[in-house]
């Protein structure tokens, strides 16, 4: 596979469930990102990892827990979510750290519905 | 406070009807402005990066331009396959801020 792959593509969970989103990039990039996309709202940055180290946490509630075991894999662990957390969660990667002038390559997203 | 504003929110065009999408920004110290295209059920796909006022870039029927306060994405003689959501993003400092996007529908 090439590019950025996200699984699952669709997820429905109850407020008391625990689930995880997975992202894998095959581009040799060193930085990986989680974004939240809600209808008619701008993409909202959640977390940034550079060389496996978290470099940004954009005041995300603790019910979202990221994990980056290596530069190619990124997880978002979910627990006790709220209905307002329903959204499309996008993973992205880039060549180097930071959001300066680097082009992001996005995955297709994981559509999350919290009941 | 909106730092990146895209207009219109939605745009419907007939095939062949040229138009422009706008992305205005209020940040200082622009490092780059990005345009992405997002199809339903997919993630955003990179189109262009513009770095300085006066710069222009073209790709097929799309042309992006940049001034000190805004960017335009001009679509010439659009086709139905150009239908998508177009996102702009502005980079300044160590931040990247996205606009809410313009939904473009081109009817044949």
Instruction: Say if the Cβ atoms of A101 and B31 lie within 8 Å.
Output: yes
pLDDT at A98: 53
Dihedral sign for Cα B92, A109, B49, B13, please: negative
Which range has the worst mean pLDDT, A9-18, A41-50, A91-100?
A91-100
Judged on CB neighbours under 10 Å (0-12, 13-18, 19+), B76 is: middle
The phi and psi torsions of B82 (rounded to 5 degrees) equal -80, -5
Q: Is the pLDDT confidence value at A83 over 80? A: yes
Instruction: Say if the Cβ atoms of A42 and B4 lie within 8 Å.
Output: yes
Instruction: Say if the Cβ atoms of B41 and A90 lie within 8 Å.
Output: no
Across chain A, mean pLDDT equals: 92
On chain B, the residues whose CB falls within 8 A of the CB of A101 are 31-32, 49, 51, 91
For the range A7-10, what are the long-range contacts, defined as Cβ-Cβ under 8 Å and sequence gap of 24 or more? A7/A110, A8/A110, A9/A108, A9/A109, A9/A110, A9/A111, A10/A110, A10/A111, A10/A113
Which range has the worst mean pLDDT, A51-55, A90-94, B30-34?
A51-55
pLDDT beneath 50, residues of chain B: none
pLDDT at B35: 98
Q: Is the pLDDT confidence value at A93 over 90? A: yes
pLDDT at A78: 97
- Asked if residues B61 and B80 have their Cβ atoms less than 8 Å apart, the reply is no
On chain A, the residues whose CB falls within 8 A of the CB of B101 are 42
Instruction: Say if the Cβ atoms of A100 and B9 lie within 8 Å.
Output: no
The three-class DSSP label of residue A26 is: coil
The three-class DSSP label of residue B82 is: helix
Instruction: Say if the Cβ atoms of B32 and A45 lie within 8 Å.
Output: no
Q: Is the pLDDT confidence value at A100 over 60? A: no
pLDDT at A97: 58
pLDDT at A101: 58
On chain A, the residues whose CB falls within 8 A of the CB of B103 are none
**In the structure, what pLDDT confidence band is assigned to residue A95 with cuts at 50, 70 and 90?**
confident
pLDDT at A1: 58
pLDDT at B29: 86
According to DSSP, the residues that pair with B36 across neighbouring strands are B46, B87
pLDDT at B80: 98
- Cα distance from A98 to chain B (closest Cα, Å)? 6
The phi and psi torsions of B16 (rounded to 5 degrees) equal 90, -10
Instruction: Say if the Cβ atoms of A106 and B4 lie within 8 Å.
Output: no
On chain B, the residues whose CB falls within 8 A of the CB of A100 are 31-32, 91, 94, 96
């Amino acid at each position: 596979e090439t590019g950025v792959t996200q699984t699952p593509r669709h997820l429905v969970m109850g407020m008391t469930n625990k689930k995880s989103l997975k992202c894998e990039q095959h581009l040799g990039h060193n930085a990986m990102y989680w974004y939240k996309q809600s209808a008619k709202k701008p993409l909202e940055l959640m977390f940034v990892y550079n060389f496996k180290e978290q470099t940004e946490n954009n005041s995300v509630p603790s019910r979202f827990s990221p994990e980056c075991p290596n530069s190619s894999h990124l997880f978002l662990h979910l627990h006790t979510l709220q209905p307002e957390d329903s959204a499309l969660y996008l993973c992205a990667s880039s060549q180097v750290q930071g959001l300066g002038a680097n082009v992001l390559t996005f995955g297709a997203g994981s559509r999350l519905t919290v009941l | 406070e909106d730092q990146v504003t895209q207009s219109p929110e939605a745009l419907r065009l007939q095939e062949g009807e040229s138009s422009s999408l706008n992305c205005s920004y209020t940040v200082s110290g622009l490092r780059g402005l990005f345009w992405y295209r997002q199809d339903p059920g997919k993630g955003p796909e990179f189109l262009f990066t513009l770095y300085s006022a006066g710069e222009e870039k073209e790709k097929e029927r799309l042309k992006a331009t940049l001034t000190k306060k805004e960017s335009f994405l001009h679509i010439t003689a659009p086709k139905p396959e150009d239908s998508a959501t177009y996102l702009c993003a502005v980079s300044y400092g160590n931040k990247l801020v996205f606009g809410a996007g313009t939904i473009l529908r081109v009817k044949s």
